[in-house]
Structure 1
Amino acid sequence: MVREFAQPAVYTVPDGADLTDMVWSAADEVPEKVTFRRPSGSGWADVTAAQFRSEVIGVAKGLIASGVQPGDRIGLMARTRYEWTLVDYAIWSAGAVTVPIYETSSAEQVQWILGDSGAVGVVVESSGHQSLVESVRSDLPDLRRIWQIDADAVGLLTADGASVDDAQIEERRAALGPADTATIIYTSGTTGRPKGCVLTHKNLLFEVGNAIPSLPSMFREGASTLLFLPLAHAFARLIQLGAVYSRVTLGHAPDIKNLMGDLQEFRPTFVLAVPRVFEKVYNGAKQKAHAEGKGAIFDRADRVAVAYSESLDSGGPGLLLKAQHALFDKLVYGKLRGALGGACTHAISGGAPLGARLAHFFRGIGLWVSEGYGLTETSPATAANVDNAVKLGTVGRPLPGMTVRIADDGEVLIAGDHVFAEYWHNPEATAVALKDGFFHTGDLGALDDDGFLTITGRKKELIVTAAGKNVAPAVLEDRIRAHALVSQAMVVGDGKPFIGCVVTIDPDAFGPWKAKHDKPADATVGDLANDPDLRSEIQAAVDDANQAVSRAEAVKVFRILPRDFTEETGELTPSLKLKRAVVEKEYADEIAAIYT
């Protein structure tokens, strides 16, 4: 096994560069290029590069008129929409720092982020968000202004800044440099208070300049993407920056409930999602086919798609497989691609492991999913499967300019100019994370002989059984979650005689399953938690997962919990990571029952 792998950088951040440069250069060089498409009363309206710069200048001048100084922190709390991106670039153009806040955050989280960052202003989306901020304003002595997007924050700021000379914007931009802070992103974290991750203009420019050239199949002339993940997440923010940098047309989808319709109208050429989205697309299509009596066709098409994709790594498909693939492309695959708008050929997945089988399925139907890896602290991407280097089941090789080292205990260490500067006002946490020139990720992984990285779990999440066996729960949990009926799975067993698991049922899959198995329509998951048919389904998922591990690591007993985990009820972070401590506390009795 390789202990360290690095690639030379293909881009170096010039002296004096900052993130606003890409907006100015596009407006100067391709002023009529459609940079964004935004929802309007009759579909999607084009926004050119020149228009976007003009709007950015207008909002930035409004911020200056309100007293925002270089280096001031400005909160930004909204769903993924055009104004999010506009305000983000306007904050930078005024020389200030963007502090994203998830639009689902609680009053306590909002108070902590705005208070800890010392934000002097905040742009919120709705009256609900404004009320939330107002409810904690007495604890925010630095906060002077609140602007609300739904109450025409953009128009009001632009009007307020009308008397500010354009030269002031140029002065602010000229004063910015690579070392200046661009954003403080508070990592949602699965334990404790969120830490403010300080990313500089250099961090983000280095990231974009080295990552984007590795994916020319996506970031190409004529390409477009529809962003629906929260822009408060570093992963979505990277795609925003990458689209503006590479002049790919960007759209925003603020409401997941309308996503399928938005995809049909916008017709992106690539999308960004977390593995749970791909799991739901696959499981939903499979359930629908079985419900309509076409289950045998779908299952056959599924096997052919996986076999076709696997053949691409070993000499290509034979004549029979090609013929089968062409048939199912007409019957099944084309319809699945059509659900994404019909033009989508690529996707990027991150945030959690996707799994090799699902990656092969999607590549087999004509949607190549590039799986990558990174953290907020690494701006965020560090490794990815890219156009000329793919190994499904891994998170790819380190990107140009980035180094991955595997420590003696298996921890993944990262170095490069994309690694964050510090945790805001938290030197203790910074000292723990940044040591000897490397960022200590807390993730466990391995590099193969070709430099491809596989993530095997979290260092802190390692379970040590009473017999002293070390078990990485992620391997088991990912396999169990792949079952159509399963929403979440959490492996337990620290200090216990064997490994157990608590499982939640996917609400979308539960109704059709009840109908198919003649269960009462009004029966809840709690009512059927011990139902033999339901337990048999989950046992099959557990049996499949157990094939990936040794007998000592296998799940011996599972419990079905009465409701799903959600962000609102506190078991998941905004990026859908499991808060183990919360689940362990909330379901202590259920977990204890596994061992009695």
Structure 2
Amino acid sequence: MNTHGEAKPRLHDRLLPVDESCKVESRADGSFLIRRNIPLEAYPHRCTELLLRWAREVPDRVFIAQRPREVIREHAWEEWTYGMTLAAVRSLGQALLDRRLSVERPVMILSENQIENQLLALACSHVGVPYIPVAPAYSLQAKDHDQLKWLAALCRPGLVYASSSVAYRRAVKAAFPQVEWVTGQCDGDDATPLDALLRTEPTAAVERAYEAISPNQPVKVLFTSGTTGRPKGVIFTHEMICCNRQQLIQTLPAIYAQPPVLVDWLPWHHTFGGTFCVGIALTGGGSFYIDPGQPVPGRIDGTLQALREIAPTFYGSTPGGMAALLPHLSSDEPLRKNFFSRLRVMNYGGALCPPHVRRGFDEVTHQAGGEVSYISIGGSTECGPCALVTMRDPGCEPIMGVPVPGMEVKLAPVDDKLELRFKGPSVTPGYWRQPELNERAFDEEGFFRLGDAASFVDLPGGDLRLRLEGRLAENFKLITGTWVNTETLRLKALAAFAALARDVVIVGEGQSEVGALVFPNLDVCRTLDPSLPDGADPDRIVASVAVRGTFEQRLGALNADQGSAGRIVRLMLEPEPPTIDSGELTAKQSVSPLAVLRRRAAAVEALFQEPVVPRVIRWKGSNGS
């Protein structure tokens, strides 16, 4: 029994199969092992093997395209076919070999998504030189470039690529003063033009380097966001990437029923965009159109125009990106018609989808007459990234699917939770030149510790699935000793507030009651108060009696019939939204709770002050109200 006399939830002890093709094993130490019975089929062992195939079979098919820099008009795309791409990769590969680049002297890419970026990445993969894509913000937004200098010292690159010598000069000179740097746009600087590398005549050395690649050789290093400290460099090997692509083929063959077409904005220095989405196009001999915009305020126009012109068959996004796109799909019939005209699979990841966003996509899909499979993939950068795939639409629930073939999943007891852990050929061997991190990242059996809690849950029809229970590090205890599941409560809050809230961060560790910082949708909230003019100041919007009253009403509905760990007693509307610059918003457009708590410590302190400060909305059912 817990401190409130409620029965403590037991770990699920019904050993029903998670799926007909899965087996669950209960072990004496309280852990569970889940495996697919479906065998993992053969797959390539070099990342560019499929590039060679498609360049041979469909040399004139578009592989990658982007808007021309010089031309901004409708229907203008710079397109590179598979044949053109392979020719460029061979030339660039020769240039890399001429510079004696290697695992000890890798290539670092500082720039945003561009054709040249991808050509260089493929060339590195083709001749066995690891590449390291880095968030452009480290170069373009930082003041002292401390993070970039730290990465330079850790990685010791032999060549640095940046799209523009003008935009990146200060960062390169600060962090890489002695390293050759290559640019796509060279403006009379000491940088080497990329065109010079592209003009290199390939020799037999390129093919010898390709043939010499071993499956466990590093392809690239992706640095995680580092919200809890310095970034961690996740090693991707050839086997890891090739294996994960085969696992997806076997799990979701519908993606490859025809050559996939993607219009994608997700950044390549993250695994969702740079590994998963690019991999879908390359695996299926498809076409990847680089989204010239981004589904965020001020940049979405480029996205909308691209989606009016190019109809995707697969679309990947974050819940934040979906929320930004939804009102345009609702109001713009030509956009909606083209977007859904051949869309078959839509994957959302990086965070759980708010209910009003998911319902909205159901509505626009129906309006367009589309037939779309909505999926959510579980895993992490360290897992390739795809470890668990839903076999049915998860809706807004944190329901995860079955392991991909060849992946072994362990649920290990940690306190009174079960932690997700993974082992298989698509799991990283470790972190780049950070051996101290490996000791903590893997358990005694070699399973990677994800840091997420999970539980078993029965679904209609008798199927058993895994339910995500939030980050172990983000869940917390009240002063009463009661655990608060932050992700479950966050989802309930988003469902209750619906379109009024963009996101919610649950707080209250060491307090007697749960609180929340709410990032309101200011445009929607403004409509609640007719006295507020267009363009009203955010502080004025969140101070509106009508706005606060609506949140208070919905807070009451949220808390009805909930125990102490399931109700939010205090909330504060935050007029300043999270941003990438502040570190509170990741490049995937998901909120980092740890960064929010660190940056807004004063707001959290004010939330729990007594007497209650004016900014705080307190649930009327709480004691002392």
Q: 2:115 aligns with which of 74, 82, 88?
A: 82
- Asked if the contact 1:414–1:440 (Cα under 8 Å) also holds between the matched residues in 2, the reply is yes
SS in structure 1 of the partner of residue 256 of structure 2: coil
Q: Residues 127 and 508 (structure 1 numbering): CA distance in 2 closer, same or farther, change over 3 Å? A: farther
Q: What does the per-residue CA deviation read over 1:499-557, in whole Å, with 9 as the maximum and x for residues that have no partner?
A: 0011122355455x26x622144532222333221113333554565469634331011
Distance between the aligned counterparts of 1:103 and 1:548, measured in 2? 47
Q: Residues 558 and 336 (structure 1 numbering): CA distance in 2 closer, same or farther, change over 3 Å? A: farther
Shift of 1:255: 2.5
Shift of 1:423: 1.1
- Asked if the contact 1:189–1:573 (Cα under 8 Å) also holds between the matched residues in 2, the reply is no
Alignment of 1:552-571 (within 5 A): 552-571=565-584
Q: What TM-score do the two structures reach when normalised by structure 2?
A: 0.80
Question: 1:118 and 2:156 equivalent?
Answer: yes
Q: 1:442 aligns with which of 451, 475, 484?
A: 451
Alignment of 1:93-242 (within 5 A): 93-105=126-138, 106=142, 107-127=145-165, 129-137=167-175, 140=176, 144-151=179-186, 156-160=193-197, 162=199, 164-237=201-274, 238-242=276-280
Q: 1:454 aligns with which of 461, 467, 475?
A: 467
Shift of 1:430: 0.7
- Asked if the contact 2:67–2:292 (Cα under 8 Å) also holds between the matched residues in 1, the reply is no
Q: What does the per-residue CA deviation read over 1:53-108, in whole Å, with 9 as the maximum and x for residues that have no partner?
A: 01111222222333423553111122222222211101112321010111222322
User: What corresponds to 1:297 in structure 2?
Assistant: none
Shift of 1:402: 1.2
Equivalenced residue count is: 542
Shift of 1:448: 3.7
Question: 1:379 and 2:404 equivalent?
Answer: no
- Asked if the contact 1:504–1:564 (Cα under 8 Å) also holds between the matched residues in 2, the reply is yes
Q: What does the per-residue CA deviation read over 1:293-341, in whole Å, with 9 as the maximum and x for residues that have no partner?
A: xxxxxxxxxxxxxxxxxxxxxxxxxxxxxxxxxxxxxxx9x66733736
User: What corresponds to 1:62 in structure 2?
Assistant: 95
User: What corresponds to 2:23 in structure 1?
Assistant: none
Distance between the aligned counterparts of 1:101 and 1:228, measured in 2? 16
User: What corresponds to 1:323 in structure 2?
Assistant: none
Given residue 443 of structure 1, which amino acid in structure 2 is its aligned partner?
D
Shift of 1:11: 2.5
User: What corresponds to 1:31 in structure 2?
Assistant: 59
Q: Which stretch has the larger CA shift, 233-242 or 347-356?
A: 347-356
Question: 1:476 and 2:485 equivalent?
Answer: no
SS in structure 2 of the partner of residue 502 of structure 1: strand
Q: 1:428 aligns with which of 416, 436, 441?
A: 436
SS in structure 1 of the partner of residue 350 of structure 2: coil
Distance between the aligned counterparts of 1:166 and 1:159, measured in 2? 16
Given residue 418 of structure 1, which amino acid in structure 2 is its aligned partner?
S
Alignment of 1:151-550 (within 5 A): 151=186, 156-160=193-197, 162=199, 164-237=201-274, 238-256=276-294, 257=299, 258-282=302-326, 337-338=336-337, 340=339, 342-354=341-353, 358-359=357-358, 362-363=361-362, 365=365, 366=370, 367-386=372-391, 389-392=392-395, 393=397, 394-408=399-413, 409-435=417-443, 436-448=445-457, 450=463, 452-481=465-494, 483-509=498-524, 513=527, 517-543=530-556, 545-546=558-559, 550=563
Distance between the aligned counterparts of 1:38 and 1:57, measured in 2? 21
Detail structure 1 runs of 4+ shifted over 6 Å in the superposition: 152-155
- Asked if the contact 1:190–1:580 (Cα under 8 Å) also holds between the matched residues in 2, the reply is no
User: What corresponds to 1:6 in structure 2?
Assistant: 35
User: What corresponds to 1:293 in structure 2?
Assistant: none
SS in structure 2 of the partner of residue 179 of structure 1: coil
**Is there any run of 5+ residues in structure 2 with no aligned partner, and where?**
1-11, 16-31, 611-625
Distance between the aligned counterparts of 1:283 and 1:103, measured in 2? 29
Distance between the aligned counterparts of 1:406 and 1:358, measured in 2? 31
Q: What TM-score do the two structures reach when normalised by structure 1?
A: 0.84
Q: Which stretch has the larger CA shift, 501-510 or 538-547?
A: 538-547
User: What corresponds to 1:311 in structure 2?
Assistant: none
SS in structure 1 of the partner of residue 400 of structure 2: coil
- Asked if the contact 1:78–1:84 (Cα under 8 Å) also holds between the matched residues in 2, the reply is yes
User: What corresponds to 1:21 in structure 2?
Assistant: 49
Question: 1:50 and 2:59 equivalent?
Answer: no
Distance between the aligned counterparts of 1:455 and 1:478, measured in 2? 12
- Asked if the contact 2:518–2:572 (Cα under 8 Å) also holds between the matched residues in 1, the reply is yes
Q: Residues 125 and 347 (structure 1 numbering): CA distance in 2 closer, same or farther, change over 3 Å? A: same
Distance between the aligned counterparts of 1:266 and 1:335, measured in 2? 12
Distance between the aligned counterparts of 1:559 and 1:149, measured in 2? 46
SS in structure 2 of the partner of residue 204 of structure 1: helix
Distance between the aligned counterparts of 1:425 and 1:546, measured in 2? 48
Shift of 1:417: 0.9
SS in structure 2 of the partner of residue 149 of structure 1: strand
Q: Residues 51 and 469 (structure 1 numbering): CA distance in 2 closer, same or farther, change over 3 Å? A: same
- Asked if the contact 1:383–1:453 (Cα under 8 Å) also holds between the matched residues in 2, the reply is no
Given residue 347 of structure 2, which amino acid in structure 1 is its aligned partner?
I
Q: Which stretch has the larger CA shift, 457-466 or 357-366?
A: 357-366
- Asked if the contact 1:443–1:457 (Cα under 8 Å) also holds between the matched residues in 2, the reply is yes
Q: Residues 536 and 128 (structure 1 numbering): CA distance in 2 closer, same or farther, change over 3 Å? A: farther
Distance between the aligned counterparts of 1:358 and 1:23, measured in 2? 37
Q: Which stretch has the larger CA shift, 60-69 or 440-449?
A: 60-69
**Is there any run of 5+ residues in structure 1 with no aligned partner, and where?**
289-331
Q: Percent identity?
A: 22
Q: Residues 579 and 225 (structure 1 numbering): CA distance in 2 closer, same or farther, change over 3 Å? A: closer
For the aligned residue pairs, the C-alpha RMSD in angstroms reads 2.8
User: What corresponds to 2:599 in structure 1?
Assistant: 586
Q: Residues 275 and 506 (structure 1 numbering): CA distance in 2 closer, same or farther, change over 3 Å? A: same
Distance between the aligned counterparts of 1:250 and 1:592, measured in 2? 47
Distance between the aligned counterparts of 1:47 and 1:522, measured in 2? 43
SS in structure 1 of the partner of residue 219 of structure 2: strand
Q: Which stretch has the larger CA shift, 523-532 or 494-503?
A: 523-532
Q: Residues 39 and 174 (structure 1 numbering): CA distance in 2 closer, same or farther, change over 3 Å? A: same
